[in-house]
Structure 1
Amino acid sequence: MIFLKFSKFSFFFCLSTLVFTTSCVTKKKYDDLNSQLSQVSSDAANTKRSLKLAQAQQAKLEEELGKLTEANLKLISDSTDTGIALRKIKGLYTDLTKTYDNLIKNHEKLMSNSAAESSRLSSDLARREAELKALDANLKASKQQIDKLSVDLKTREERLNELERVLAEKDKAVDALRSKVSNALLGFKDKDLTVNVKNGKVYVSLAEQLLFKSGSTKVDPKGQEALQKLAKALQGQDDVNVLVEGHTDDVPVAKITGIQDNWDLSVLRATEITRILTKAGLDAAKVTPSGRGQTAPVEVGKTAEIRQKNRRTEIILTPKLDELFQILETN
Structure 2
Amino acid sequence: MKKIILGCLGLTLMLGSCVSSKKFKDAQAQAAEAKDLLNSATVKLNDCLEEKASADSRLKTLTDQNSFLKANNQELINNMGNLTTLTTKGAENLEKSLESLQEKDLTIRKLQDAITRRDSVNLSLVQSLKGVLGNLDDEDIEISVEKGVVFVSISDKLLFSSGSYNVTSKAKTVLGKVAQVVNNKPDFEFMVEGHTDDVPYRKNGVLLDNWDLSVKRATAVVRILQNDYNVDPKRMTAAGRAEFIPVSQTQKSKNRRTRIVVLPKIDQFYSMIEEGMKDPAINN
Do these two structures clear the TM 0.5 threshold for a shared fold by scoring above it? yes
| Partner of residue 235, structure 1 | 183
Structure 2: distance between partners of 1:142 and 1:198: 45
Q: Does 1:309 align with 2:257?
A: no
Q: Which amino acid in structure 2 is aligned with residue 298 of structure 1?
A: V
Tell me if 1:292 matches 2:248: no
Letter of the 1:256 counterpart: N
Give the superposition deviation at 1:187: 2.9
Question: SS of the residue aligned with 2:143?
Answer: strand
| Residues 1:161 and 1:252: Cα distance change in structure 2 (over 3 Å) | same
Equivalent in the alignment of 1:320: 265
Q: Does 1:176 align with 2:124?
A: yes
Q: How does 1:155-304 map to 2 (within 5 A)?
A: 155-279=103-227, 280-301=229-250
Q: CA deviation at 1:209?
A: 0.1
User: Quick one: distance in 1 between partners of 2:90 and 2:55?
Assistant: 47
Query: Equivalents in 2 of 1:107, 1:205: separation in Å?
Result: 105
Secondary structure at the counterpart of residue 201 of structure 2: coil
How far is 1:110 from its partner? 4.3
Instruction: Give the aligned CA root-mean-square deviation in angstroms.
Output: 2.3
The answer for the alignment partner of 2:82 in structure 1 is 134
In structure 1, distance between residues paired with 2:179 and 2:58: 102
Q: Match for 2:68: what amino acid?
A: R
Q: String of CA shifts for 1:262-302, please: whole Å, max 9, x gaps.
A: 1111111111111111221211111111111111000124x
> Aligned partner of 1:164: which letter?
Q
* One-letter amino acid of the structure 2 residue matched with residue 295 of structure 1: F
AA of the residue aligned to 2:239: S
Contact 1:163-1:324 at 8 Å conserved across structures: no
Q: Which amino acid aligns with 1:209?
A: K
- The CA distance in 2 between the partners of 1:298 and 1:127, in whole Å, is 75
Letter in 2 for 1:281: N
CA distances 1:159-199 after superposition (whole Å, capped 9, x unpaired): 22222211111111111000001111123211211111121
Per-residue CA deviation, residues 287-328 of structure 1 (Å, 9 max, x unaligned), is 111111111000124xxxx11000001101112343655759
Counterparts of 1:144 and 1:323, CA distance in 2: 39
Which SS does the other structure have where 2:180 is aligned? helix
| Identical aligned residues as a percent | 30
Structure number with greater Rg is 1
> Residue in 2 aligned with 1:64?
none
Tell me what 2:47 maps to. Answer: none
One-letter code aligned to 1:225: T
Which of 121, 125, 129 pairs up with 2:69? Answer: 121
8 Å contact 2:196–2:243 — kept in the other structure? yes
Normalising by structure 1, what TM-score?
0.62
Q: 1:144 aligns with which of 86, 92, 113?
A: 92
**One-letter amino acid of the counterpart of residue 178, structure 1:** V
Secondary structure of 1:143's counterpart equals helix
| Residue 123 of structure 1: how far off its partner (Å) | 2.3
TM-score (normalised: structure 2):
0.72
Letter in 2 for 1:285: K
C-alpha change, 1:294 and 1:118, in structure 2 (3 Å) is same
User: What secondary structure does 1:291 align onto?
Assistant: strand
Secondary structure in 2 aligned to 1:195?
strand
Is the CA contact 1:193–1:205 (under 8 Å) kept in the aligned structure 2? Answer: yes
Check the 8 A contact 2:118/2:269 in 1, yes or no: no
Q: Deviation of residue 212 (structure 1)? A: 0.5
Q: SS at the partner of 1:269?
A: helix
SS in structure 1 at match of 2:241: strand
Residue by residue over 1:113-137, the C-alpha shift from the partner in whole angstroms, topping out at 9 and shown as x without a partner, is: 1222222222222323222222222
Distance, in Å, in 1 between the alignment partners of 2:268 and 2:237 is 22
- SS in structure 2 of the partner of residue 241 of structure 1: strand
Note if contact 1:274-1:287 (Cα within 8 Å) is conserved in structure 2.
yes
What corresponds to 1:71 in structure 2?
none
- Confirm or deny: 8 A CA contact 1:243 1:289 kept in the other structure: yes
SS state of the match for residue 244, structure 1? Answer: strand
Contact 1:248 1:310 in 2 (8 A): yes
